[in-house]
Amino acid sequence: MDKKIVHQIIKSALIEDLGDGDHTSLSTIPAEEKGKAKLLVKEDGVIAGVKVAVEVCREVDPELKVEVLIEDGTTVRVGDIILYVSGKVQSILVAERLMLNLMQRMSGIATTTSKIVKQLAGTGTQVLDTRKTTPNLRYLEKLAVKIGGGVNHRFGLFDMILIKDNHIDYAGGIENAVKAAQAYLRDKNKNLQIEVEVRNLVELQRVLSIGGVDRILLDNFSFEDLRKAVKAVDKTIPTEASGNITIDNALEYAKCGVDYISMGALTHSVKGLDLSLKAVVN
């Protein structure tokens, strides 16, 4: 976990939430009041964001003490206690919602990813995330995919060339787009992989004829055409299937023989895992 990136996210989120002060806690809780709270699991799943929660507490108040009982990536059940946090009550209450928001989101992603990874066990197909993430939370959402057993695809626009349908259409065709990308890398002396999206078997044959690409993205293919595409490629280039892949049909895509399936659903529409922070009162 890159703590520098995580703390940038936390600082920005606290500014958004805290404003000029938590006036509810300031008005009802004495400044020096000490207390303890527990983070409870209210829904079965895979927990993620524990290390992030610890950093939230450190950012809010370095004197807060966090006792972690369950680590990231662990399967949890209703009633499990993830951690205890103790210290100034006002500080605990400031940290509460940010801890929960991040952990619920991350745990939902990890839980969904884990289910799909287990479905695909033995197929040889890996699960990839996409750039369909929440703005400014991409790092945490992709971290949650890894915690759930998935594989991160490119992080952004800068770390891979991914030629998609719009690039192809604007470039005047798939040959123009691929050859321009190859020339760009030579001219700029950049070492980036090239992945090309194809929409049908005809485009696939064009890419195979051109050569010089590192991965082929088979977008919105029928299962029949996907099997034909995998056979045509014949393991010479890694293949990736994408387009409306869900937890319900992921296994069927994997059975077509692709090396990867990429799923925007891992991050763009996943349900958060239900968690709660409760005061521990003697």
* Domain identity same for 162 and 253: yes
In this structure, the strands spanning 239-242 and 126-128 are unpaired
- CB contact at 8 A, 239 and 218: yes
Confidence (pTM): 0.93
Distance CA 41, CA 278 (A): 11
Instruction: For residue 204, name the pLDDT band (cuts at 50, 70, 90).
Output: very high
Task: Give the span between the Cα atoms of 144 and 104, in whole angstroms.
Answer: 11
**Which residue range forms the structural domain that includes residue 85?**
3-108+271-279
- Looking at the structure, do residues 259 and 275 belong to the same domain, yes or no? no
- The DSSP code sequence of 29-41 is S-TT-EEEEEEEE
For range 172-199, the mean pLDDT: 96
Query: What average pLDDT does the segment 98-125 reach?
Result: 96
Whole-angstrom distance, CA of residue 61 vs CA of residue 216: 48
Are residue 80 and residue 172 in the same domain, yes or no?
Answer: no
Question: Is the domain of 177 the same as that of 53?
Answer: no
Distance CA 214, CA 236 (A): 10
Residues 145 and 259 in one domain: yes
- Across the chain, mean pLDDT equals 95
134 shares a domain with 8:
no
Mean pLDDT, rounded, for 170-181? 95
CATH of the domain at 104: 3.90.1170.20
Mean pLDDT of all residues in 64-72: 98
Determine contact, residues 263/125, Cβ cutoff 8 Å: no
Do residues 50 and 73 both lie within one domain?
yes
Mean pLDDT value across residues 196-214: 95
Give the separation between CA 223 and CA 201, rounded to whole angstroms: 12
pLDDT value of residue 269: 87
Domains: count for the chain = 2
Contact partners, residue 99, CB within 8 Å, separation at least 6:
39, 52, 53, 56, 57, 277
Residue 240: DSSP 8-state: E
Question: What angle (nearest 5°) sits at the alpha carbon of residue 147, between those of residues 109 and 4?
Answer: 100
- Looking at residue 275, its pLDDT comes to 97
Give how far the C-alpha of residue 220 lies from the chain's centroid of Cα atoms, to the nearest Å.
22
CATH of the domain at 234: 3.20.20.70
Shared-domain flag, residues 139 and 259:
yes
Residues 97 and 139 both lie in one domain: no
The predicted structure's pLDDT at residue 245: 92
% helix, strand, coil for the chain, step of 5: 45, 20, 35
Residue 282, CA distances (Å) to 35, 36, 90, 279 in order: 10, 10, 18, 10
Name the helix (H) or strand (E) containing 179: helix 174-188
| Residue 45 near residue 1, CB atoms below 8 Å | no
Q: Do 179 and 102 share a domain, yes or no? A: no
Neighbours of 251 (CB within 10 A): 15
Does residue 281 carry a pLDDT above 90?
A: no
Task: Assess whether pLDDT exceeds 90 at residue 28.
Answer: yes
Distance CA 165, CA 178 (A): 12
Contact 45, 106 (CB under 8 A): no
- Same domain, residue pair 128 and 264: yes
140 and 98 both lie in a single domain: no
pLDDT value, residue 244: 86
Per the CB < 8 A criterion, the answer to whether 50 and 29 are in contact is no
pLDDT for the residue 189: 96
The residues carrying an active-site annotation are: 97, 132, 164, 197, 219
